[in-house]
């Protein structure tokens, strides 16, 4: 590979002297290398990715788990139910309303569940009608 750029001047310790023109890496070289690397990596992944994952999972489960753990979010908040945000009294109130509505519809209801709690609508929870 021929390089027509002038050789940069260096001091007696081999350091570049200020004001050099033409020294260092050509502009865009790093981006070009990174682009080519990712293209090659993608081609390899498309050809061998799933098989490689399976091989690592079977032969090196500790490394497989490290990879899985590294791609998971550091903090994971999962909301399982609207009931998670309600107090015990609010849940009891909702249950009392459901029992009353079932009883009004003529369905058998377990007697006494939540009867001592006054039914108050819980914020953000729809009532059954």
pLDDT of 68-119, one tens digit each? 999 888 887 777 777 778 888 998 898 889 888 888 888 766 655 444 445 5
Cα dihedral: 31, 37, 41, 47 (round 10): 120
Q: Is the pLDDT of residue 128 over 60?
A: no
3-state secondary structure of 10: strand
Distance of CA 2 to the CA centre of its chain: 47
The reply to whether the predicted model has a pTM over 0.95 is no
How far apart CA 23 and CA 59 sit, in angstroms, is 48
3-state secondary structure of 4: coil
Given this model, what pLDDT does residue 48 score? Answer: 96
Whose CA is closest to 128, among 115, 103, 85, 89? 103
Q: Quick: pLDDT tens for 38-65.
A: 999 999 999 999 999 999 999 999 999 9
Identify the bridge partners of residue 10 per DSSP, sorted by sequence position.
Answer: 16
């Amino acid at each position: 590979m021929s390089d027509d750029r002038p050789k940069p001047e260096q001091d007696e310790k081999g350091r570049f002297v200020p004001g050099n023109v033409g020294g260092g890496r050509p502009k865009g070289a790093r981006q070009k290398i990174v682009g080519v690397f990712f293209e090659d990596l993608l081609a390899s992944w498309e050809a061998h990715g799933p098989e490689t994952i399976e091989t690592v999972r079977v032969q090196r489960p500790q490394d497989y788990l490290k990879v899985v753990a590294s791609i998971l979010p550091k903090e994971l908040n999962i909301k399982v139910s609207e009931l998670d945000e309600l107090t015990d009294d609010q849940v009891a109130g909702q249950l009392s309303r459901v029992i009353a509505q079932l009883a009004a519809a003529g369905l058998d209801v377990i007697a006494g569940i939540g009867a001592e709690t006054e039914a108050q609508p819980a914020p953000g929870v729809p009532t059954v009608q």
